[in-house]
Amino acid sequence: MSIFRQSFYCLMACLLTLSACAGDTTKVATNGPVPDPDNGGIKLPAGFGGQIVADKVGRVRHIFVNSNGDLYAKLEKLKDGKGIVRLRDKNGDGKFDETVGFGNFIGTGMAIKNGYLYASSNTEVFRYKLNEKNEVPDGAQPEKIITGLWDHHQHEAKPFTLDNDGNIYVTIGAPSNCCQVQDRVKGSPGQSPCPILDSAGGVWQFKVDKPNQSYAEGVRYATGLRNVMGLDWNTAVNSLYVTQHGRDQLFQFYPEMYSQKEGAENPSEEMFKVKLGSDCGWPYCYYDYTKKQKVLNPEYGGDRTKAGDCGSKEQSIVQFPGHLAPNDLLFYTGDMFPEKYKNGAFIAFHGSWNRAPEPQAGYFVVFVPFGKDGMPSGNWEVFADGFAGADINKATYRPCGLAQGTDGSLYISDDNQGRIWRITYKK
């Protein structure tokens, strides 16, 4: 074969190869997820990077990452008529470039376990069976497993978590500030016993696979919890943990007992480890962040010194300043982050609306280290900050949901603008 002919064949082979590569856009090599230069506009500890992986998704509440990397988000408000969004990264750059909506109900709760996707409205919990592609089929109709839960248009969200024994734990928030005779009216006394606790103000346990369960089929697992938004089953110790939104208006109703600043800091937002039968004290008791003690609420005769029988109630294991709104809780089981994060808790704080005239606060994600005994092993620390933007009193983003990726990364959702971040660590 002549040198000319050999050169011609080599040239044609190269051209054909280049042509084939140019036409196959689904196999373009990438370097994988790369953090944004500014970490997506948020502040993180050294070694961590943030990447905006989705934006303008809708009013995203809780989120969950499936084993194939798809992220499912529950929306508080329908978008294009849909209340659940599935996000998929098709080219491997870490950002979600395919969006599919389904479900015609709003809500908060979202989880996947044992081949089912679970999602809640404000009165019910549904589940979808995943198909052989590990996704919810087009046009699938969910099975209703829980129905008839209270929705009195105050603390109506129904977040939930699942254990490993076929149970689901659902928050039923109290439609009340402090179970007064007249809700949120200065001088109105507290009701004792509080009639709300029969159907709300706690966490109820149901079965994951029994259809159309109501209160009658459920078990009031823990009570005395005004409004639990964050709850997670800690598999390291096989126990349920929750974060509570505390009451409002101590300074406004009782300025003789609380300064303006003390009203902003009290009562504590609390984290509990609860068991069957736990009574965490609401509405009779609250944890005073200033005095570091659980005391009686003023509506029940409290004066910031009287403890009554509050010492016999379930005691919280971590306390935070008031009104920061802990909206999700996640125990980290991944291997990407440094060892200190293993089996520790991340908590997303939605941020306050009622600390005025003090500055608003929160709008961050904190980390609580845990020991092998399932109890905190150190002080809580701010992990991700800067979501509020330049004006803390007019927050741009409000952290609401947390999820762990298949590789151990951490996802954070915002329900103000519909943004989702992915947090990674590079050793």
Q: What are the pLDDT digits (tens) for 235-275?
A: 999 999 999 999 999 999 999 999 999 999 999 999 999 99
- Give the pLDDT confidence of 386-395 residue by residue, as tens digits: 999 999 999 9
The residue-averaged pLDDT of 13-38 equals 50
Write down the pLDDT at residue 33. 79
Does residue 278 share a domain with residue 340?
Answer: yes
Same domain flag for 7 and 98 = no
Convert the pLDDT of each residue in 71-123 to its tens digit. 999 999 999 999 999 999 999 999 999 999 999 999 999 999 999 999 999 99
pLDDT of residue 353: 87
The yes-or-no verdict on residue 3 having pLDDT over 50 is no
Clarify whether residues 13 and 65 are in a common domain.
no
- What is the model's pLDDT at position 272? 98
CA dihedral 88, 86, 96, 63 (to 10 degrees): -120
Residues 6+ apart with CB under 8 A from 280: 222, 223, 224, 225, 244, 270, 272, 274, 313, 314, 316
- Same domain assignment for residues 266 and 353: yes
Percent of the chain with pLDDT over 70: 93
pTM of the full structure: 0.92
* pLDDT band at residue 2 using 50, 70 and 90 as cut-offs: very low
Alpha carbons 216 and 224: distance in angstroms, whole number: 19
* Residues 19 and 96 placed together within one structural domain of the fold: no
The whole-chain average pLDDT of the chain stands at: 93
What value does the mean pLDDT take over residues 307-333?
A: 98
What secondary structure letter does DSSP report for 190? B
Of 33-37, 184-188, 296-300, 396-400, the one with minimum mean pLDDT is 33-37
| Residue 1 belongs to domain spanning | 1-31
Query: In this structure, are 25 and 131 located in the same domain?
Result: no
Overall number of domains in the chain: 2
Is the confidence at residue 8, as pLDDT, over 80? no
Contact predicate 344/383, CB 8 Å: no
Same domain, 110 and 22: no
In this structure, the number of other CB atoms found within 10 A of the CB of residue 43 comes to: 15
Buried b (16+ CB within 10 A) or exposed e, 191-229: beebebbebbbbbbbbbbeeeebebeebebbbbbbbbbb
- Angle (CA) 337-341-342 rounded to 5° is 95
Based on the domain organization, do 21 and 147 belong to the same domain? no
Q: What pLDDT is recorded for position 308?
A: 95
Is there a cis peptide before residue 33, judged by omega within 30 degrees of 0?
A: no
Q: What is the mean pLDDT of residues 167-190?
A: 98
Which pair of structure tokens corresponds to residue 232?
Answer: 């997670």
* Whether residue 244 is found in the same domain as residue 275: yes
pLDDT at position 32 is: 63
120 and 19 inside one domain? no
In this structure, the answer to whether residues 12 and 99 fall within a common structural domain is no
C-alpha distances in Å from residue 276, one per residue of 55, 153, 232, 239? 40, 27, 15, 10
SS (H, E, C) 293-342: EEEECHHHCCCCCCCCCHHHCCCCCEEECCCCCEEEEEECCCCCCCHHHC
**Cα dihedral 310→315→319→325 (10° resolution):** -80
Q: Are 146 and 125 in contact (CB under 8 A)?
A: yes
CATH number of domain containing 313: 2.120.10.30
**Tens digit of pLDDT for each residue in 191-235?**
999 999 999 999 999 999 999 999 999 999 999 999 999 999 999
- Which residue type is seen at 315? Q
3 with 58, same domain: the answer is: no
